[in-house]
Every structure is written in C-alpha cells, then in structure tokens.
Amino acid sequence: MEVRVGVRVEGVVQGVGFRPFVHGLATGLGLSGLVGNDAGGVFIEVEGAPDEVGRFLDGLRTRPPRLAVVERVTTRELAADGRGGFTIVGSDASGERRALVSFDSATCDDCLREMRDPRDRRHGYAFTNCTNCGPRFTIVKDVPYDRPNTTMAGFAMCGPCAAEYEDPGDRRFHAQPVCCPSCGPSLTLRPATGDPLAGAQAMLADGAVLAVKGLGGYHLAARAADDGAVAALRARKHREDKPFAVMVPDLAAARVLCELSEAEEALLTGPRRPIVLARRRPEADLADAVAPGNRDVGVMLPYTPLHHLLVTEPLVLTSGNVSDEPIAHRDDEALSRLGGIADGFLLHDRAIHTRTDDSVVRVFGGRTLPVRRSRGYTPEPVPIAAGRPVLACGAELKNTFCLTRDGRAFVSHHIGDLENHETLRAFEEGIEHFRRLFDIAPELIAYDPHPEYLSTKYALDQDLPSAAVQHHHAHIASCLADNGVDGPVIGVAFDGTGYGTDGTLWGGEFLVADLRDFQRAGHLQPVPLPGGAAAIREPWRMAAAYGVPDDLPVAQRPGWSTVAAMARSRVNAPLTSSMGRLFDAVAAVLGVRDRVNYEGQAAIELEQHADPTERGAYPVSLDGTSEFTVAGGDLLDAVVADMKAGVPVPAIAARFHNAVAALIVTAASRIRTGTGLGTVALSGGVFQNMLLLERAVSGLTGEGFEVLTHHRVPPNDGGISLGQAAVATARG
C-alpha cells in the first residue's frame, strides 16, 4: 500500500542545496511527490511504499547538504494521489519569515577544482561559488533569501549560469550568488596595471601594503615575512602591539608556521574558516612585527576564491581600519579611510551588505573556544529556552547584540567597541537588519545596568519593557546558555570591569547563579582605581593602588607619588574588585607592561612570560563568612618578596597564575560546602588566558567539580548579549 506524507523541515535549509538534495533522495528511493521553499523553511510531500518513505525521512536527518542545519522535521499523513513523478515547485514568500540564512562558507572543493581547471569556464574566476559554498549572510539584504534580495541583484545571470540555476540536477540549482566571468563581479586594481591579480601579487612581492576587498570587509595585506612591509603596516594603522593574523595558502604552509593539533587543523580547513590562535614555531619565518612578544600566532586559510588566487605565500591579513575604527566595508569609505595606509587597492564590484570581521578561535581541551564570533558563524542561532522575543543589547567593548525567537538566540556579528559614532551606527543598523531578517518583534529589551554604556542608553530609549542584567551575572548566564545548562552553578566571573549592584566596579566575582538570578558569594577585595579609565590604560597605577613598596622599579616612574596619594585619599579613584586589574598590577610590578595599547595587553603579556613548567604557587586565603573576600594584596606581597629574592620573572608570573587557579578551587570548594553545588562555570575575559584556564580546570576537576567553559560564544564581553537574553527569557 502506498502512503503519502507531508514533511516540513526547519533550520538552515534555504540557499544550501536542500531541494536538489531532496529531489535526489526521493527519486533514488522511487518516491513521487514535490518539494518547495516557503518562508518557514522547506515543505515536502512524498508518496510511495512505507519502508521507502521511512528511509527518506532518515536520510533527511542524517545526510543533509554541507551547509544545511536541520533543526526540526515534522510530518503529517496525507491521502495518496498516485500521480507519480517528483517536482520542485516555486518559492512561496508568503507566511512567516522563519527560514534561516546560512553563514558565509569557505569555497568548496568542487568549486576549487573548477577554478583550477583551464578548460572550465570558471577557470581562475575570483567569485566562483555554488550551493555548498560562498557568500550568504554578508550579501543578504532581506528575506526570503533570493537573488533580488542580495547584493548580487544587479548582476543578471548569463545563459549558462541561468541553466545551472534552473537545473535540479546541478550543483548550482538555486544558488543565489551563482555567476561566472561573463556575468558576475570582477576585480580591479588601483593603481591599474593590466591583470589585477598579477598586479596585486607584484605589489605585495615589492613590499607594498595592499587593501583587499573581501567577504565581510576590507583587509590590509602585506607579506608576512617582510619586516619592512609589516612594520610599515603597523605604523600606518597606528596599531602598536596587537598581533596581526596571517593567511597561508594551505594547511601545509600553516604547519610550517605553527604546531597544530587535529582539532586546530579541522577548524582551519572547515567551512567556517576562523583565525585559529595556535602555538607558533620558533623557527617560523615571520616578521617580528607580526605578533610581538607572543608565543602564539593567529593563522587562517583562504576562504574565498579571491584568497585562493591571491595568496601564494603567508600574508598578514588584518582588518581594514585605522586603530579602533570598525572594519571598512563600503568602497567609498575604504578608499578614503584606508588611503593613508594602503599603497594600492584590490577591489571588486559585489557590495558587502553587512560588515563582518573574521572570527577568532582557540582550541581548548579539543573543543572550540571562541575569542571573536563573527564571519563563518553568524547568523547561526544558539539554542536557548523558548519564551517571549527578546532584544539583548550587549556590553560596551567587543559588543554584540542578540535577538531571540522560538528557542533560538541570534547572536550578532562582532560590532566592536561602542565608543564612537561609526560603531553605534553599525549596532543600530545591525539590530534593524536582524529584526527584518528573522522577523523578530522584541517584546522585552535586556541591557547592562552600567549607566554610561551606549548600549544601555539605546535600550532605555526604546519603547519596550526592559530588564537590567548585571554584567557578571550575564557572563555566567552566557556560559550556562552556551552549554545548555540552567543552573544553579558556582559562577566564577573574572574580567576587567563591570558595573556592580552596589555601584562599584566588579570583576573578581564568585557567584551562585542560575539563569534567573544570582547571589554574590565572594569577591576580590576592592581597591581604588586611581584616575578611573586612566588606570585601565596604565597598569602601573594599579601597582600604586595596591600600595606596593616605594623602592620597586615601578615606583620610580614619574607621577607615582601623586597616583599613590590619589589611591590613598580615594579622590577620583572608584573602588574595583577586578581580577583583570590585579593581573595589571602584577605585570607592572614585574616590569612586563606599565602602559597598554589594547584591552588586556598587560595580562596577555604576563601569561606569555610565565614559565609553564613552574608548579609553585603563592598562598591565598579567604576571609568573611557569608560573603568572603580574597586579599589580592597578599598575592602582590608574595610577588614582591620573590622579586626581591631574585626569583626570575617567568617563575613569578607562573606562580601568580597558579595562585589564582588555586584560589578558584579554594573558593569553589567553600561555596560547595555551603550550597552543595558541584558545577563551576568559568566566564569573563580573564578566561581567555589559557594558562589560567588550564590550571583552573584541572584543579577543579581534580576536586570533583564539573566545569563549564565557553564553546559557542566568547567568554569575553562578546558573549554578554547571549547571557542577557538567557536571563531575560528565564525571567519571562
């Protein structure tokens, strides 16, 4: 007996070759019926023997196309009509806009083969793509995801491309950005010199800095082995120390630069293609200015056809911006803003709709630990509890926002530091874009209670019920949502600064938290932040705040006595319990760094100095009963004593890291005794410190704790919006 079943497939199922896949699967099993797209995803009707229909449903779930994410398959029985044949029906744009746009995906092997085949009509073509790869999120302007709603709208398909687009048996069936040299985008080089690609490569070989229009924005490129070119790039970009990422032609070249684990290689070669921070080989041929004073280097593989054609040796490929401005993504803005940096421009005429930076990840314990979640990940949703639609506005630095609907949290691309007009505009436009793209009308707005954050001001300007979510609670909730856990847990939130419920600046926090609420179980003893924001830029001020002895080298610098007095009198010196600032103080005392050029620099360099073989640690003790405090000053005293005893800096830096890890274990054990909780969530920017993270996780697991770390969103403030959304959802 024949049966007919109606099937609905939800998730990332449009623009990823799902209908041809369904067509092939059904006809291969001898089933008849139809498949089509609508705004809710893919709808299917299949008819045939019950066993074959069962196999069909299995295949849908277990063998979807490369870029598809099948979130839900629902079925209903229909009356068999015995008509035979299997057809792909037209799109239906009515109804709800629930279909999900895929992330931008690295060029697939089939497309690469065509580009390298001299007989193929796409030989050497820099915009080759298909349903399994290519631009998506960065070019989509509206839904449904169809060519007229992308920045490919202006390119009319030629006959051969249209034939591929219309053929259900073709790899490019309904690939919206499909194109070829005769109908698609093309490259230009300024100044012009014949073939743009050859000209660009010649400029790079000559030591030039080249601006290259990419997928989510402009990059600045220079030969990574060329000291002069990389130093020039650094000077012109006003980026003094922050490491540059390097794009290498292939995995073999990555292995020459870095020691890579299996997990790191899988990330490098996968469809998302983030920058992977990996251990640099000492003998790697990289200019000193690529990643000064860093044992690691950020490396990535080509992810667009243009990269594959352009990159024949390691190139520094860094965001096309000046210092802290957002990455340039429009041609006019790139030409004016990057004109003083780049010697030339490699341009193309496919517009970038949404500015999207490269993602940055590490591998920790064999799993992804995101540092910046953007291109290749956005807009893939993170699953959370269902509830009212929420807009979460994120924090100030490394801002992302997040919109939720039907159990999905759409965490935005990296917006950047909300400190200037450009990033604020990207934030506001991004929210509007996501609302349209995912058809979300938020009923609740979540924000950080810090009164000075632009994201907070934005939230309070909206005509919506609002929910304030304390910064460190948001960090822990972010880690819980990241792991699909509700809590309660012991939350350890260590970062630079966040606004506390008592009006002081928190950042060395031990919480008992679930998604709904939290209690402060303990924290680092507050110290003054002399000069406020100035103390964040100048770590030596934190050494003064901790009152280290006046005979240390750090105390000999100009301004010391003034700042020390400021700290003692508490004038212009708000209190902070920040763990990041304790790292700053130690870095300054050890002479590692007394002034920073980017957020977290002193702590990063302190970690780089630490000797990983050193197992010693300084003693730490907790005082207080209901809300314990930890004396950070004791740790500094121990650091100073070792320094005066002539202990080498790498050993002291390591002992300090080990002490902070031991402190986490001691504090968690105290909280476990009082509450019976056995799970610890680690979040906040300080946990980007791999030495601390590794020591803390091994210490905690050694004491029988279950430990939650981040895998989907960063532990830094880029993950705050997800945490805010999770808390607002739990509160309802």
Q: Which residues bind Zn ion (CB under 5 A)?
A: 108, 111, 130, 132-133, 158, 161, 180, 183
Task: Please give the distance of CA 381 from its chain centroid, rounded to a whole number.
Answer: 13
DSSP secondary structure letters along 342-355 = -SEEEEESSPPSS-
Measured distance CA(529)–CA(570) in Å, rounded? 9
Question: What is the pairing mode between strands 679-683 and 489-499?
Answer: parallel
Please count the other Cβ atoms lying within 10 Å of the Cβ belonging to residue 581. 29
In the complex, what is the shortest distance from the CB of residue 114 to Zn ion, in angstroms, rounded to a whole number? 8
Nearer to Zn ion, 161 or 543 (CB): 161
Shortest Å distance, C-beta 582 to Zn ion: 49
Beta-bridge partners for 70 = 11
Give the separation between CA 619 and CA 330, rounded to whole angstroms.
54
Residue among 4, 19, 97, 272 flagged as catalytic: 19
| Contact residues for 266 (Cβ-Cβ < 8 A; gap 6+) | none
595 is catalytic: no
Kindly state the smallest distance separating residue 304's Cβ from Zn ion, in Å. Answer: 11
Q: How far apart are CA 390 and CA 717, in angstroms?
A: 18
Closest CA to 685 of 497, 504, 523, 500: 497
- Let me know: does 132 contact 121? Beta carbons within 8 Å: no
Task: Say if residues 199 and 309 touch (Cβ distance below 8 Å).
Answer: no
Choice between 154 and 465, CB closer to Zn ion: 154
Beta strand pairing call for 367-372 and 382-383: unpaired
Count of alpha carbons within 13 Å of 166, Cβ hemisphere only?
7
Minimum CB distance to Zn ion smaller for 129 or for 683: 129
Residue 224 DSSP symbol: T
Q: Which is nearer to Zn ion, 106 or 596 (CB)?
A: 106
Strand pairing report for 390-392 and 444-447? parallel
Residue (13 or 524) nearer to Zn ion, CB: 13
d(CA 304, CA 127): 8
CB proximity list for 556: less than 8 A, separation 6 or greater: none
Decide whether 133 or 257 has the Cβ nearer to Zn ion.
133
- Identify the active-site residue in 4, 37, 273, 337: 37
Report the amino acid identity of residue 277: L
Closest Cα partner for 582 from 545, 534, 607, 557? 545
Which is nearer to Zn ion, 180 or 477 (by Cβ)? 180
Smallest separation, CB 97 to Zn ion (Å): 26
Of 177 and 500, the one with the shorter C-beta distance to Zn ion is 177
Structural tokens at position 456? 């907070």
8 A C-beta contact, residue 306 and residue 314: no
Instruction: Select 178 or 246, whichever has its Cβ closest to Zn ion.
Output: 178
For residue 211, list its beta bridge partners. Answer: 220, 345
Residue 390, classed as helix, strand or coil, is: strand
**What is the Cα–Cα distance from 671 to 703, expressed in whole angstroms?**
13
Does 37 participate in catalysis according to the annotation? Answer: yes
Give whichever of 93 and 183 is closer to Zn ion, judged by the CB atom: 183
Is 273 within 8 Å of 376 (Cβ atoms)?
yes
Q: Report how far residue 508's alpha carbon sits from residue 522's, in angstroms, rounded to the nearest whole number.
A: 9
Least distance from Zn ion to the Cβ atom of residue 110, Å: 5
Q: What distance in Å separates the CA atoms of residue 49 and residue 277, rounded to the nearest whole number? A: 52
How many residues are listed for the chain in this entry? 732
The residues near 133 (Cβ < 8 Å, ≥ 6 apart) are 66, 67, 105, 106, 107, 108, 111, 271
For tokens 């909300």, name the residue: 418
Catalytic positions: 19, 37
